Amino acid sequence: MATLVFLEGFPQKIVVLGILGMYNWAIKWRNENGPNSPIEIHRILYFIITGRPIDNVNNENP
């Protein structure tokens, strides 16, 4: 498993629950008519978590 260096020193349980919370609650706060597609939101959350962009996701709806 890859180590996310920028998360070292933080309690693992809080980090995991925070990441899961971002993804699980996205369905609640995402607006169907909003400016961002599900793929765009995924790319943003992925970048927040990993610190690097994701390039291999197509632009189709999941």
pLDDT for the residue 6:
66
pLDDT for the residue 44:
85
- Coil, strand, or helix at residue 8? coil
| Residue 22, amino acid | M
DSSP 13: H
Q: 1-58, pLDDT tens digit by residue?
A: 555 666 778 888 988 888 888 878 877 777 788 888 888 888 888 888 888 888 765 5
Please state the domain extents for the chain. 10-50
Give the C-alpha separation, 61 to 15, whole Å: 28
pLDDT for the residue 5:
65
Give the C-alpha separation, 4 to 59, whole Å: 27
DSSP string, 18-59: HHHHHHHHHHHH--TTSS--HHHHHHHHHHHHHSS---S--S
pLDDT band at 61 (very low <50, low <70, confident <90, very high): very low
pTM: predicted TM-score of the whole model, two decimal places: 0.57
